[in-house]
Amino acid sequence: MSVLIAFLSLAVEFVLGYPDWLFRAIGHPVTWFGRLISFLDLRLNRATDPDALRRQRGVQALLVIVLVPAVIGLFVQLVLLWFVPLGFFIAALLATSLLSQKSLYEHVEAVADSLDSGGLAMGRVAVSRIVGRDPEGLDRAAVCRAAIESLAENFSDGIVAPAFWTGVGGLAGGAAYKAANTADSMIGHRTPRHEAFGWAAARFDDWINLPASRLTALLIVLAAFLVKDADPRSAWQAVSRDAKKHRSPNAGWPEAAMAGALGLALAGPRSYGGIVVDDVFMGEGGRRDVDSGDIRRALTLYRVADYLLIALFAVVSVIAVLAF
């Protein structure tokens, strides 16, 4: 039943997204999780404590961060399925808040539109909304590469992963994943404040994203068969050659697939908060002179890969329903 909830949530969120009026009225699950994470960070993460104690408290915080949404999600789903007419569809509607198909497309498309209409300055502003690197140091090609890299990585951890864990565990699985992923983005950094306290969040996020990152790469490779001017063979070769060289155990898989499919070289050295990260290239040997047209090509590839994801969940849902 959980996989059917995941399928329906994918189909609905693809069309509707998360409405702005709803965000203004009640916020978003990520903002709710963020408040919990900030509270625990302030209460448990003390700079005067030794690293061993801060790491232990980081584990304790992660358990709270994951278990509280999971328990709430399980309770809500059980109440909806047992006591509410059409509760199954309401559960699917709630699960749409864990996905970002529509908003991801719009945010990345905004980078291409801004570059075409307002030039580099506007492109930097648009890309700063979806990446953490220093926008002022990016030229036009770097802005475009950053947008495509963000598209590939967020397809994995913003869409495929929450859909996967919702399919495995229903609202509880999807909410737990989203909370853990939010924790990684907030405290899973190698900074003096969070290297010890956020260690558990970062490692746990690496683990729970393993299946989705591999599935995302496969979806992009398969989509390349259906998209004009995309190369599925090069996509597969890039994944096989480059994905494991990335500093992240997960981000390299979708980035390498996207780079190979489009004939680009993504990742490489980048600057975050003034600190240069000397990462390897995904799609080594590909073109680095990327422009807004390549962003639009990447968006087409993403859209087709997303269609394949929805179709996959539809097929698995039918099999699950027939087997049940």
137/211: higher pLDDT: 211
Taking alpha carbons only, the member of 225, 285, 218, 297 closest to residue 253 is 218
Rounded Cα distance between 134 and 142, Å, is: 11
Residue 275 sits at φ, ψ, to 5 deg, of -105, 125
Instruction: Give the mean model confidence (pLDDT) for residues 12-34.
Output: 90
pLDDT at 133 over 80: no
Residue 52's CB: how many other CB atoms inside 10 A?
9
Which residues, including other chains, have CB under 8 Å from residue 267's CB and lie 6 or more apart?
Answer: 149, 246, 252, 255, 259, 279, 280, 281, 282
- DSSP secondary structure letters along 26-59: H--HHHHHHHHHHHHHHHH--TTS-HHHHHHHHH
Rounded Cα distance between 303 and 306, Å, is: 5
Instruction: Give the mean model confidence (pLDDT) for residues 98-109.
Output: 97
pLDDT at 122 over 80: yes
pLDDT at 132 over 90: no
* Beta strand extents in the chain (DSSP E only): 266-267, 270-272, 275-277, 281-282
User: Percentage of the chain surpassing pLDDT 70?
Assistant: 98
Pairing assessment for the beta strands 275-277 and 281-282 based on DSSP bridges:
unpaired
DSSP 8-state secondary structure symbol assigned to residue 273? T
Q: What local confidence, expressed as pLDDT, does residue 275 receive?
A: 62
Q: What local confidence, expressed as pLDDT, does residue 272 receive?
A: 61
Q: Left if phi > 0, otherwise alpha if psi is -120 to 50, otherwise beta: which for 305?
A: alpha
Q: What local confidence, expressed as pLDDT, does residue 135 receive?
A: 84
Q: How many CA within 13 A on the CB side of residue 272?
A: 12
Per-residue model confidence as pLDDT tens digits over 60-83: 999 999 999 999 999 999 999 999
pLDDT at 103 over 80: yes
pLDDT at 227 over 80: yes
Q: What local confidence, expressed as pLDDT, does residue 1 receive?
A: 82
Is 117 in contact with 137 (CB distance < 8 Å)?
no
Instruction: Give the mean model confidence (pLDDT) for residues 101-130.
Output: 96
Is 186 in contact with 38 (CB distance < 8 Å)?
yes
Instruction: Give the mean model confidence (pLDDT) for residues 32-60.
Output: 97
Q: What local confidence, expressed as pLDDT, does residue 274 receive?
A: 60
Rounded Cα distance between 176 and 283, Å, is: 33
pLDDT at 151 over 70: yes
Per-residue model confidence as pLDDT tens digits over 231-281: 999 999 999 999 999 999 999 999 999 999 999 999 987 766 566 677 899
* Burial profile 167-188: b = 16 or more Cβ within 10 angstroms, e = fewer: bebbbbbbbbbbbbbbbbbbbb
58/21: higher pLDDT: 58
Q: What angle do CA 16, 17, 18 make, to 5 degrees?
A: 115
Q: What local confidence, expressed as pLDDT, does residue 161 receive?
A: 98
pTM higher than 0.75? yes
Length of the chain: 324
Taking alpha carbons only, the member of 181, 182, 185, 164 closest to residue 173 is 164
Is 186 in contact with 35 (CB distance < 8 Å)?
no
Mean pLDDT of all residues belonging to the chain: 94
Instruction: Give the mean model confidence (pLDDT) for residues 282-293.
Output: 94
Instruction: Quickly state the pLDDT bin for 20 (edges 50, 70, 90).
Output: confident
Instruction: Quickly state the pLDDT bin for 229 (edges 50, 70, 90).
Output: very high
- Give me the residue label for tokens 């609905």: 12
The full set of domain ranges for the chain reads 1-323
pLDDT at 297 over 90: yes
Instruction: Give the mean model confidence (pLDDT) for residues 152-181.
Output: 98
pLDDT at 136 over 90: no
Q: What local confidence, expressed as pLDDT, does residue 126 receive?
A: 96
Rounded Cα distance between 81 and 18, Å, is: 23
- Give the C-alpha distances (Å, rounded to integers) separating 231 from 62, 153, 247: 41, 19, 25
